[in-house]
Amino acid sequence: MNKGKLIIFAAPSGSGKTSIVKYLLEQDLPLRFSVSATTRAKRLNEKHGEDYFFFTKKQFEDKMASGDFLEWEEVYAETYYGTLKSEVDKLLDNGENVIFDVDVLGALNIKKNYGIQALALFVKVPSIEKLVERLTQRGTENEESLKRRIEKANYELSFEKDFDATIINDDLLKAQSEAQQIIMNFVN
């Protein structure tokens, strides 16, 4: 049986990465979504191992210390998210292709671990002005959080050159189609 491949999406917040990944998972593509681990509380209809792998802060930190994560991040104070290497390897060993929706540094860590078995895709909008417009239209940002996101986006954009390909999301349908074509060429 062939080992599966990894398709890693990363982008500054507001670039449309999650919309592209959701679209791809709705298509008839041979992809499985990587289930993340977290320390946040489980919501009413969520299932351990299906929506997330739910851990206490201590359990998560023990797994960090043991090197069990391909990537992890403390997204909010005391709230961690990460990708378990054992879960990814299980899918790959079954010949499944795994798709990731992660932050820029996490994407590069995964790529570093798997080399040519992984395809790292960077999604961006045509300009910072367009990104500000999208983040403002969401209605979820105040002036300070918007400033923080733009600073982080500028930092993340400096890593674009380290990715295998860039998808410019100026038109979502076009970006989705381009992503699908790149993935089909990679997994076949």
Mind listing the pLDDT tens digit for each residue in 7-45?
Answer: 999 998 889 999 999 999 999 999 999 999 999 999 888
Radius of gyration of the chain (CA): 17
pLDDT of residue 144: 86
pLDDT of residue 4: 95
Share of the chain above pLDDT 70, in %: 99
**Mean pLDDT estimate for the chain:** 92
What is the reported pTM? 0.88
* Structure-block tokens of residue 19: 């919309």
- 12, 14, 16, 90, 113 from 104: Cα distances, Å: 8, 13, 14, 24, 15
What is the Cα–Cα distance from 83 to 72, expressed in whole angstroms?
Answer: 6
What is the Cα–Cα distance from 135 to 149, expressed in whole angstroms?
Answer: 9
Domains plus CATH for the chain? Answer: 6-187 (3.40.50.300)
Contact by Cβ (8 Å): 39, 63: no
> DSSP per residue over 12-25, as a string?
-TTSSHHHHHHHHH
